[in-house]
Amino acid sequence: MSGQVIMLSGGVGGAKLVLGMSHVVEGNNLLVVCNTADDFDHLGLRICPDIDSVLYALAGLSDQVRGWGRRNETWTFMSALKSLEGPDWFNLGDGDLATHVVRTELLRQGKTLGEVTATLARRMGIQATIVPMCDQPVSTSVLTQDGRLNFQHYFVREQCNPIVTGFEFENIQAARPQSDLVTTARDPLDAIVIAPSNPYVSVDPILQIPGLREALQNARAPIVAVSPIIGGQAIKGPAAKMMMELGKDVSALGIARHYSGLIDGLLIDEADETLATEIEDLGITVRIAKTLMTDVESKAGLAEETLSFARGLAA
């Protein structure tokens, strides 16, 4: 029997560990807090990529190869859009489109993003509680040498090519931590887990919501992170490129420095074993594990390892 677990999750890497965690923690004991700072309005629809990555992963609907969207997707809408010379830089599959249409309509009816997400999760048959980091819209701007870009413009349209100089999370001061997170953080917990997501654009927006970091730190549970950097590289996405452009050490040690003062423990890959001592010098306990998640067994295995690490830290 497991106690409650809170996970902070971004996109692909986050959704993978969340899926693993759903195999080792009962659904009603798992609260997943999703980054929403890369949400945006596109073609009149509210798109929430990180929420959807987690929803699709837990519903068994996600495309494992692309890493985003639904598997067995069809693209009739995109073909028609292109033929009408509509904006086709952001790909919306036909099935995925239904998610955005339903979400946008429920928001238009006055539901909060938290309520809408709970409705979508229930309709997809998901047991775990999935919440947005906040109900208020927050938007990441990527500051680059080519100017300021909305996150999706940087990520998808510009393919992460511009050189990054910083980030701004617009409207973050008006954001409030989602109520389920605040109440769950007051309960006895086994662990607070920071998924192997991009620290700058997936996890930092969550941590920068006024009051959220304090709610996590006041919780009676160890905070453990899983490094998204293995052997100096990110498995997917621009985390390593961003770290390099920001002049950081592109390694699990760089990740440890980033989360120093917040986390009690860091899981690093076997490939990074030699960094353990330097990380522990920061006051962070290290667990060495196989952190590459290639199939459901490795996802569940890493989730199990993460929980056993956290429970050991609590003891």
Q: Which residues of this protein are in contact with ligand FO1, per CB under 6 A?
A: 10-11, 38, 47, 49-50, 52, 68-69, 90-92, 96, 152, 155-156
Q: How far is the CB of 18 from ligand FO1 (least distance, A)?
A: 13
Closer residue to ligand FO1, CB minimum distance, 20 or 49:
49
Q: How far is the CB of 160 from ligand FO1 (least distance, A)?
A: 9
Contact 164, 144 (CB under 8 A): yes
Closer residue to ligand FO1, CB minimum distance, 91 or 119:
91
Q: How far is the CB of 118 from ligand FO1 (least distance, A)?
A: 18
Q: How far is the CB of 305 from ligand FO1 (least distance, A)?
A: 24
Q: How far is the CB of 25 from ligand FO1 (least distance, A)?
A: 23
Contact 216, 192 (CB under 8 A): yes
**Which residue's beta carbon is nearest to the bound ligand FO1?**
11
Closer residue to ligand FO1, CB minimum distance, 69 or 177:
69
Closer residue to ligand FO1, CB minimum distance, 155 or 167:
155
Q: How far is the CB of 287 from ligand FO1 (least distance, A)?
A: 25
Closer residue to ligand FO1, CB minimum distance, 96 or 135:
96
247 CB contacts (<8 Å, ≥6 apart)? none
Closer residue to ligand FO1, CB minimum distance, 2 or 233:
233
Closer residue to ligand FO1, CB minimum distance, 20 or 301:
20
As a three-state string, the secondary structure of the chain is CCCEEEEEECCHHHHHHHHHHHHHCCHHHEEEEECCCCCEEECCEEECHHHHHHHHHHCCCECCCCCCCECCCCCHHHHHHHHCCCCCCCCCCHHHHHHHHHHHHHHHCCCCHHHHHHHHHHHCCCCCEEEECCCCCCEEEEEECCEEEEHHHHHHHCCCCCCEEEEEEECHHHCCCCHHHHHHHHCCEEEEEECCCCHHHHHHHHHCCCCHHHHHHHCCCCEEEECCEECCEECCCCHHHHHHHCCCCCCHHHHHHHHCCCCCEEEEEHHHHHHHHHHHCCCCEEEEECCCCCCHHHHHHHHHHHHHHHHHHHC
Closer residue to ligand FO1, CB minimum distance, 92 or 185:
92
Q: How far is the CB of 158 from ligand FO1 (least distance, A)?
A: 11
Q: How far is the CB of 51 from ligand FO1 (least distance, A)?
A: 8
Torsion of the alpha carbons at 169, 175, 178 and 181, rounded to the nearest 10: 70
